[in-house]
Amino acid sequence: MFKALFHDFLYVPIYNLLVFLVDIVPGGDVGLAVVGATIIVKLILMPLSLRAVRTQRQMKLIEPELKALKAKYKDDKERQAKEMLALYKEHNVRPFASILGILIQLPIVIALYLVFSREALLNIDPSLLYSFVPVPEMISPLFLGLLPVTGASIILAFLAAVAQALHARLSIPMPEASKSKERSMGEDLSRMMAVQARFVLPVIIGIVGYITGGAVALYFITASLVGILQEAVVRKMKHPERVSG
C-alpha cells in the first residue's frame, strides 16, 4: 500500500513536473528542468522553510535565557525541561521546525533519484503522463550542454557539498565554547550538532550527490542556494525586540 501511495502521490507527479519542464526549457535541458522543479518544490515548502529559519534566529536570541535555566535547574532535569518548554512557548519557538522540513524533503529526493536511476526521462513513458503534459520533442541529458545529470558527476557533487557548506555556515550558528569546566550535556550536544551540520553534512551531501547522480546533486545545489536566499531575506526582516519578563 505504501509503495502504491508513493508511486501515485510522489513519483508520478514529480515525473510529470520534470517532463513538463523538459518540454518548455531551451534545448530540452534535463538539468534546467531539475533546477526549475527544485525551485517549485522549495516555493511550496517555503512556509515551513521560513519558519525553520525564524526558529533558528529565535533560538539564538533566547540562548542566554536557556543557559540561565540550565544552570538554575541543573540538578532537576524534569523542572529544567518544563521551564525550557515554557520559554519556547513564550517566544513562539518550534525547535523541531527544521527537522520537519528535512523529513518532508526526503521522499522528494528519493522520488527524484528513482526517476533518474531508471532513466525514465530519457525514455518517456506516455502511460505515466497526465493528459495535459506533452511528450518533449527534444531531451538533453547534459546540464547546460556540459555536465551529465543521468550519471555520476564529480563536479556537480563537489558543488553540492560547497553549496551545503555555505548554507550551513550562514544558517547554523556555532555555539561558543563554554569556559566552564562543568559544561552541560545539552551544550556539548548543541555544539556537536553544529559542527556536524557545518562540516560533516556537506561531505555526506557530496557523496550522496555523486553516488545518486547529477540530477540529485543539482537538486541539492539548487535547494541550498534557495536556502541561502531565504536566510538573507529573513535577516533583512525587522524583528521586534523581545521583552524579558
Write out the chain's pLDDT in tens, 245 residues: 778 888 888 889 989 999 999 999 998 999 999 999 989 988 887 776 666 666 666 767 777 777 777 777 767 777 777 777 777 777 666 666 556 666 777 787 788 778 877 667 778 888 889 999 999 989 998 898 888 888 888 999 999 999 999 888 877 766 555 555 445 544 555 556 666 677 788 889 999 889 888 888 998 999 899 888 877 777 776 554 443 33
Instruction: Answer positive or negative: Cα dihedral of 8, 10, 12, 13.
Output: positive
pLDDT value at residue 119: 66
* Residue 242 in domain: no
pLDDT value of position 23: 92
The count of other CB atoms within 10 Å of the CB of residue 168 is 21
Question: Which residues, in sequence order, are bridge partners of residue 122?
Answer: none
243 belongs to a structural domain: no
Count of domains observed in the chain = 1
Task: Please indicate, yes or no, if residue 105 is contained in any of the structural domains.
Answer: yes
Q: Which domain holds residue 119?
A: 2-236
Domain-embedded: residue 245: no
pTM reported for the whole predicted model: 0.72
